[in-house]
A and B are shown apart, each in its own frame.
Chain A
Amino acid sequence: MTASKGRAKGTNRLPLLAQAGPVSLWMILFVTIPMLFIIFISFMTRGTFGGVEYTPSLESYQTMMEVTYFHIIVKSLGVAAETTIACLIVGYPFAYYIARKPPATASRLITLLMIPFWTNSLMRLNAWMLIFQTNGPVNNFMLKTHIVDQPVTFIFTDGLVLLGLITNYLPFAVLPMYSSIEKLQKPILEASADLGAKPSVTLLKVTLPLTFPGIFSAIILTFIPALGTYVITDMLGGGKVLYIGNIIKNQFGTIRNWPLGAAMSVLLLAVTALMIFLYSRFAKVEDMEVV
């Protein structure tokens, strides 16, 4: 919309510059240049005390292909996929439910969904830890009701990491799907029913395809951050359960191998780019349902 307005004015580029200039400057300074630097570093060598020696090498990429790292990458993709699928399964019916409510109720429900996000995510993670720790309420309840005789170790396990990821990313899945479903016109669903489709057929052949842009946005908005996260996995996993985000963080922290960390970040960038590419094939960018 804004772009066509600028073009209509012909030679006068000032409005366009004023509108897109600051954002472009911001993006170039704080996104593009650091990103190019990361790509550059990934082809360099590590220094003894960490840092980077500017000797070109492909070492980092070779290291990344070693079995152990490859394993972590596959495992991380798997967990991100599990998180995404769980968010879709839980989120879609929920989004559908909200979208079918009157607007006032719907906005109240959306607010409820967002309330936990008014607190810092570290607070929420600490709350999880307190609830599930060995002498926490969950274990105490299970001991008292004789469901178990010994406290169960919940924290620092893959299961709790997954639970943490799902609760953290669920709103990002619900919002775009809600916005997609909300736009779905009732007459189309009625037409489907009138033409003899059972509700299940309408869901599969009409509702799901028409809300696909929302679903795909939900996938992108959960899968990509879930793949890159390290705070959730670090806290709930106790520094033992490692995913690609932790490995990257460690390269820039304790392990001090910046080139390898950079190379792994490039890999994440590639995965992200691939997903955006797929999205642009399936749906037009204008349809991207990001609330």
Chain B
Amino acid sequence: MKKLIYLILLGFLISSSFAQKKISKLHSKQNLECSTCHACEIPTKTNPCLALCPREKGNVTAHKVGDAPEVFEINNIQGEKDIYGSVNFLHKAHAEMSEMGEGCTACHHYNPPGEIVKCSNCHETDRNKVDIQMPDLKSAYHRQCMDCHSKWEEESKCENCHTLNDNYKSAISPTEIVKVYKLVEHPATKVYETGECKRGKVATFHHNDHIELFGLECVDCHQDESCQSCHNQKLDFKKTVDGSNHSRCVSCHDTENKNQCAKCHTDKETKPFNHFANTGFDINKYHSKNTCNSCHTKKGSYKGLNSQCQSCHTWDEENFNHTITGLKLDENHIDNSCSDCHEDEDGNLSYKKPLCTNCHDEDEGFVVPKNLPGKKVK
């Protein structure tokens, strides 16, 4: 009997400790300052004396960008006249972009710990309301969108997000649904003039390489930026880089190390990255389809690797299939051990140039590549 009581007590303890980890729905039990929401010292149910939406103090802790729904249909606002159709808001795309800027709080400006607060929880749908301080739902949505969009869109064209309902369509109305955005054009190569620097007048930045070759995500370099630094194509990109020019590079490049300066700061514009030219290791032959990270596995580190195959590849004589090198060994050679051919004069394994002379007499004309120990394959 005693054991049973202990068991029940234990179970109760465990369950209660789990319950504590869950965020309480009672906001008074959350880790919040009362003054964040209440204007007076002792709020009551009848007089909660709610402060105006504390834009600055909001925080979103509930979920990651990836968990957010991909598209929201916004159809909960309606004016006197039903001019426009609903809007499909690409929530996920915006959430991902927001990681380069203010984050979720850019839009979700008030969200104490707990569930995500919907816009309509605070903003009334009825425009003809008593409270004139807080914008109604329609205004809140539009301000949220237009705050950013108007910074690079020359005209505030409603049709960029909305489709006109039939009654309001004219001959020139677009029939296609929703032309929401202009795709941002990535700059290919940027050449920055670094007037103040002693060494190197220019710094060439190959934007394309960083995306396509090095596989970086936008957010890896672009942080704490405004939407228009990318979207406003009219904006001179040079001007968007502030005094701390290295801020975007520093997460990968060691800008403090003075020996590294010359890598970017040069007298002339440099060519795009080429593995052979820059490092001496030609990847065009066998490794052209690899991404950087498949060899340079340590994130953010691209230090020189051992060029010996075995430093990456775990082949041994038993499981190695010579065909992947482009040479299918014929039956006379297939059972040879690696060192029979790939051995340099000092007797070390070397995969650069096979030595045929171990078995064949060069004088008799057995010279590679004239006489191959097999068939070339692609």
Tell me whether A and B are bound partners.
no
| Residue positions of A touching B, CB distance < 8 A | none
Using a CB–CB distance below 8 Å, which chain B residues touch chain A? Answer: none
